[in-house]
Chain A
């Protein structure tokens, strides 16, 4: 396996996030970001690994959690392929305006888990080679707190400001695709994990 040369390594980017994650934060992850989040070490009781998933719906599930639990910060770790499947959710999020929701989009320009085929948003996947401007798209969808990082040093330096900006927040991390790395495995039966998560979250 070799990484394509763009951005920061996803695993290191998420390792940095793990150090900044509060004990009370909910972290929803899916697809490649879920794989790398699970690789960081034992899961936190408030980690919701959305595997198995429906295509592209981590942001929607995160929105529901953020609305139900406004006292908690909800961080969604999403991929660009997933985000493209549910672009409307960006508009739904800003319509509802949950101040506690942070969407972190890990953009590798590829459907990594299926073999790193280019997405239609990536330069390689587009007729004119003009990659989608995710930050501009987020702003156009109504996000006011929008951050973009393409180096690990920049992410480490700016992470706290971005996470504390007040949401809804959209953070773009440019990361390389790793062809052949595969998708995430479920950490356990989904129904059982749902019940455990609800117990960890406690009553409203």
Chain B
């Protein structure tokens, strides 16, 4: 949905120092672009729960991490994000791929569509759903607003393939 240059401009604007990630088909390719960008380090974790806690350590150490995962990883990582965002009150931003939102051909009836947004609301994460390229500016605006309020914000990126 977005070019590598757009992704880098976004991360630069937000002052992101580390992207902590498990790749998926949409946000995964961004990792390659980010890896090639000086000043931003990609930390590849084995499972999404790790991502929140690695990001927590980075944040406590004065860095500005971004968690980048798919919604399936969001489901997996509930305990970790609860601990980081709500117990420790660390305002870690995230970008979350929304599997099957634009196209269910590969996984008809994908229950990601059933559970992703209710789970974000249940975890009290303020998010914006991005479904088209024209919404690019919404990403930075929302994450900046959340950062200004000291709360975690998320961007849900609609994905076209499972």
Question: A residues touching B (Cβ–Cβ < 8 Å)?
Answer: 48, 52-55, 57, 60-69, 86, 88-89, 91-92, 95-96, 190-191, 194, 197-198, 201-204
Contact = CB atoms under 8 A, between A and B. Distances in A.
Given A60-B53, A64-B61, A190-B87, A88 B43 contact: no
B62 A203 contact: yes
A190 B88 contact: yes
Nearest to B58: A64
The 9 closest A-B pairs by CB, nearest first: A64-B57, A68-B61, A88-B46, A191-B89, A60-B53, A54-B83, A57-B53, A65-B57, A64-B58
Contacts of A53: 83
B60 A197 contact: yes
B49 interface: yes
Given A63-B54, A88-B50, A96-B43, A48 B60 contact: yes
B99 interface: no
Contacts of A61: 53-54, 56-57, 60
A93 B99 CA distance: 28
Interface residues of B, number: 32
B45 interface: yes
Contacts of A198: 60, 62
B62 A68 contact: yes
B46 A67 contact: no
B50 A92 contact: yes
B60 A89 contact: no
Nearest to A52: B87
B49 A57 contact: yes
A95 B50 CA distance: 14
Contacts of B50: 57, 60, 86, 88-89, 92
A27 to B, nearest CB: 13
A160 B84 CA distance: 33
A203 to B, nearest CB: 6
A64 B44 contact: no
Contacts of B41: 67
Given A67-B63, A92-B44, A191-B88, A54 B49 contact: yes
B46 A201 contact: no
A67 B83 contact: no
